[in-house]
Structure 1
Amino acid sequence: MTLSRAFAALVIAWFADLGCIQAVTLEVNEGNSTCIKTELSATFSITYNTSSSTRTVQVSLPNSTTVDARSSSCGTAGSTSWLVAVFGSGHAMGLSFSTNGSLYSVANLTLQYNLSDTSIFPEANRSDVVTVVSPSVGIWATINTTYRCASPSTFRVDEAAVTFSDMRLEAYMPGNELSPTESICAADQASTTAPPTTAGTTTTAAPAPTPPGTPERGTYTVNNSNGTECLLAQMGLQLNVSYFSLSQNKTIQELVNLTPNLTRSSGSCEASRASLVLTQEGGTTLNFTFTLNSTSNKYHLSEITLFANWSDATAPFSFTNTSLDYLQSTLGRSYMCNAEQTLVVVPTFSLNTFKLQVQPFEVTTNQFATAEECQMDQDQMLIPIIVGAALAGLVLIVLIAYLIGRKRSHAGYQTI
């Protein structure tokens, strides 16, 4: 995703009005206690319409940003907590947090921008305040640890994108300062070198894991509020992940199969958006988001997020991509692909699917609708036809050659 388009004059005006780019510290307090604290730099890329064209501006979270105490809240261990930061002329960024008791995560990223601010949005054809939300941004950590990610991480939020960098964050804090124990994001782990071996000691590397083979096909469903199935999926799933292994003392690339009888499914169904969340015992959560284009009546897999808390990893890690375009099909039909597919999410994580069939919208009678097959399946069906036609042609040529040769042989022994 490219976020480099910017208008220099607008950026300069923003800096003059709101301050310089630098890491901003934000806190949510309840009495004398701090429950949420973050140190981060953030850049926003926002696309808006003028009367004659579409423009994109790129602005940064200024050091004059403050926390809106009325909208922010600490919540409790079983409820959502909020950090809402306000800046400029009616702009805001919100992070909502949830926890299951052992992990906390950013449940939603909200961006609010005021199109009537002409210093940022000159010639905008609207003057209202726009609010956009992105769920499942892939920021999470274990309770009582600080989430740290120095690498830039970009999240798509409708017509805008938010890039965080140099981020340190903790929610549901037991004290007023960030925990010295850190959960490091996957992007930072990929650039971390292995720790040196102490003199006088030897380290025996564990053997490389055995390839897991083809994964078992599982059946996963999501029910709507009245208990009927609104999303159906059958597939075998295999994770292809790079992470730093404690047992091998280096970054490894590993194939990990999802086991259906150890995996539970959940999710949600909306008019134009559906999600399937697969949670496997042992600390693996895989989230699929499907998006429907109501104009073309086509849907596709637009987002994949992986959360992993594995004992062999140095820290919990996550990968996410919110701008995918896989598994495309037509509303009212299912998508099918028996062939193995590789869905690349980020350079360090891809997902292999086997014998996949999925329908995220307009499920009736708890059954898949007529399937639209992937190109690979169509190609695999075409190959036997081509081979068969070629063999038939070859047999025909041999037969014709035989008949011609036989006729000539008879002609050589005619009676005088």
Structure 2
Amino acid sequence: MIDINNLNKIDETRTYTLRGQKETFDIYTIPLNLLKYNEKNGRIASYITEYIDEQNYLPNDVQKFNELIEKFIVESASDAFKKTKNNIKQLGQIEPAIVLNNGIVVDGNRRFSALRQLQREGAGAEFGYLKAAIINESQYSDKEIKTLELNLQHARESKVDYNPTERTIDIYRDLIKDGGQFTPAEYAHETDSTESKINEEIRISKLLLDYLEYIKEPFKFHIARNLKLDGPLREVDKILRSNKVDVESKEDVKELLFANILTLDSGDITRKIRDLRRVIEKPEKLDEMLQELEDTFDDLDEELSSHKEEEEKRIGISEDTDYIRKPSKVSISKEITEKVKKVSEKHVESAKISEAQKQPIEALSKAIDRLNDIDSDAAKRLVLKDKEEFNSLLDKAAKIISCYKESN
């Protein structure tokens, strides 16, 4: 625990909102060796899952733990980190961090990292301290401290450098895991967002969880970050919410889309998932595609399950262990990959050709709709000059229609 009686209090204060009330805190300079990173920092959540996946633990030793997390902080947003470090080196630390009295930095991890590097580089004794407000953790609930963290993160421009996957993980932790500690309405208020936007993020987070379960790699969020799954999953969400997709078909559709995400390893995956909507929204075409891939999906599930069983057998663990498996990458046989790609591309191309063939009908239908929008009474009341223009356009429309009739 940090003893504030042994710290240097400077002539600064900061006011934060806690429990809905404004509270003013003194600011102290805290030696860096008394501090520890927050392993629940949303910006590095997937880096931590990746490390645990490979090493099966986080270091217990504070010094080794801090070295590891510092590395993740820098890697997660290297350009933003360099900017922060340069600013602190030139101007000093301007904005105080927030630290719990147990030494955990809840806001200011990038500033903490910059100071650590500057101290190691011998930039000056002044860089050996973090300027921060200290909050007694025993006086506030986890939710109240998280609320403060959200308020600060979303009040700064720095929120834009949040990786989409890390933001999705934060949504999972705050709104889904163990029933969630916030309601969508509360979270929208604390993050200066809208409830509908937060509900969308909840759907994306649940889809990510479903996808990781589908590939037999539950909670390995780094896979989503490495494969940049945010865009494809948002397209999956749009397709599943389409009123042209039958409710009873949605689980089959989800499996179809997940299989495509898994087997598409290059190019614009988001666009390719979007193209599948052409097939999925036509029930007869969807059924045809699903039947064609039915055996392949069974083979795919068997292969994914086999990978899991082989790895667990190699390591010597059982289903009820807390150990998170290796490897972090999912590899699928070429035969299955090529089959899913071939069938998907065939049906998408067929749908595109069909749409092109029907384009004249759709264009004419839209033209008729526009003509029906014309107010006939208003047309009769047109002044002479406008009436002449109106009649001229009618003649042009009649000639176009006549030409189409003659060509058919």
TM-score by length of 2: 0.22
Q: 1 or 2, which has the higher helix percentage?
A: 2
Q: Whose relative contact order is higher, 1 or 2, with alpha carbons under 8 Å and at least 6 apart? A: 2
